[in-house]
């Protein structure tokens, strides 16, 4: 069996390199986009991407226009990766050199970082870029509670997959025009207030390109800050597209390795695969799941999610010996979780 990447991945890298070369000739410059990461006393995970961006406009009107366009959804999906870029990450007095992958992405684990628990920043730069600051949430060794949250239809209403509305929401509207699921932000705030220092990790099958939009949306609607673990659309080393279900399952297992002392409350919705994904995880690692909280979509949302007004039979799976709460909004889910003995 060949160890070479799938042909689509090789074609994508070939095209990216040619586009990168052309844009460099036109004067585009490197920029590091940092994503929210996390860590423990042993290591921190630094996430980001190196891309090429055009020179900034000099006039006030030009800058205002760029800022407006940047916040529109379609702008998130047009970026040019810097393939295999050299990057340095500075954590305190420690400087680590890495190379981005073929998509320009940074995913580095820095050990012996010396950072205290809490929100911290590390410095990231490529060979010719300015320094960017990456936020990382360092979790204390005594923390044993955490939240893992889906994003689409769990914290933000998507109205997918109705094509025209989905396209309008994703490519034209900015975060100020999107709606949060009622009560979920207050639910997360209340749970984390009862467990100081505990993390919330947002997991989605959405593209990394939407990280900026999602960060602004969560902040606008009062959701607690937390690491976001998204994915890269397009070819992989083994196939044409990434599996969203596999991405979530792999991420859950990774978090159990990164935080061996934490038992999680898993929050999702019943529109697609969250119930099955969470149930499978709870069956594999029952001691790592405190409870599963599933938001019930309305009949209209169910139709948009999979074409019927009811939950799909395969999505009704439960996990043995794992508390399970179902409600249409955050207020109901919080009440259900608090009613469970010895969970919170």
The tens digit of pLDDT for each residue in 129-139 reads: 999 999 999 99
- How far, in whole angstroms, is CA 24 from its chain's centroid? 30
Q: How confident is the model over 57-66, as a mean pLDDT?
A: 47
The per-residue pLDDT for 21 is 75
Which stretches of the chain are assigned E, i.e. beta strand? Answer: 29-39, 43-53, 80-81, 86-91, 94-99, 105-111, 118-126, 132-138, 145-150, 200-207, 227-231, 263-269, 289-295, 324-327
Question: Is a pLDDT exceeding 90 seen at residue 17?
Answer: no
Interval 282-340: pLDDT, tens: 999 999 999 999 999 876 665 555 445 555 555 555 556 899 999 999 999 999 999 99
Long-range contacts of 158-163 (CB under 8 A, 24+ apart): 159/301, 159/304, 160/304, 160/305, 161/304, 161/305, 162/304
Calpha distance 152→265 (Å, rounded): 17
Q: Residue 342: left if φ>0, alpha if ψ -120 to 50, beta else—which one?
A: left
Question: Is a pLDDT exceeding 80 seen at residue 237?
Answer: no
Please state, rounded to an integer, the average pLDDT across all residues of the chain: 82
Which has the higher per-residue pLDDT, 344 or 295? 295
| Strand bridging mode 200-207 / 227-231 | parallel
**Minimum mean pLDDT range among 17-21, 124-128, 195-199:** 17-21
pTM (two decimals): 0.84
């Amino acid at each position: 069996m060949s160890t070479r990447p799938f042909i689509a991945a090789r074609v994508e890298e070939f095209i990216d390199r040619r586009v990168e070369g052309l844009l460099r000739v036109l004067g585009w410059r490197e920029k590091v986009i940092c994503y929210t990461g996390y860590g423990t006393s042993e290591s921190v995970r630094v996430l980001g991407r190196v891309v090429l961006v055009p020179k900034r406009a000099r006039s006030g009107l030009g800058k205002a226009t760029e800022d407006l366009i940047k916040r529109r959804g379609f702008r998130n999906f047009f970026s040019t990766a810097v393939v295999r870029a050299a990057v340095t990450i500075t954590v305190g007095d420690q400087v680590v050199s890495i190379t981005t992958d073929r998509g320009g992405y940074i995913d580095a684990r820095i050990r012996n970082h010396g950072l205290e628990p809490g929100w911290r920043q590390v410095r990231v730069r490529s060979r010719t870029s300015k320094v960017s600051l990456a936020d990382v949430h360092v979790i204390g060794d005594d923390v044993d509670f955490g939240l893992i949250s889906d994003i689409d239809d769990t914290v933000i209403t998507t109205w997918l997959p109705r094509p025209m509305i989905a396209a309008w929401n994703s490519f034209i509207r900015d975060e100020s025009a999107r709606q949060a699921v009622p009560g979920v932000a207050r639910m997360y705030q209340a749970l984390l207030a009862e467990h100081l220092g505990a993390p919330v990790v947002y997991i989605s099958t959405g593209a990394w390109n939407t990280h900026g939009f999602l960060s602004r949306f969560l902040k606008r609607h009062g959701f607690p800050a937390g690491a976001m673990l998204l994915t890269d659309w397009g070819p992989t080393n083994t196939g044409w597209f990434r599996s969203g279900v596999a991405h979530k399952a792999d991420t859950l297992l990774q978090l159990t390795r990164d935080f061996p002392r934490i038992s999680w409350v898993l929050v999702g919705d019943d529109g697609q695969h969250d119930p099955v994904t969470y149930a499978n995880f709870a069956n594999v690692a029952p001691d790592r799941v405190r409870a599963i909280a599933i938001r019930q979509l309305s009949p209209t949302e169910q139709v948009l999610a999979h074409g019927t007004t009811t939950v799909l039979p395969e999505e009704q799976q439960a996990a043995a010996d794992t508390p399970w709460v179902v409600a249409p909004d955050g207020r109901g889910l919080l009440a259900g979780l608090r009613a469970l003995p010895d969970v919170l």
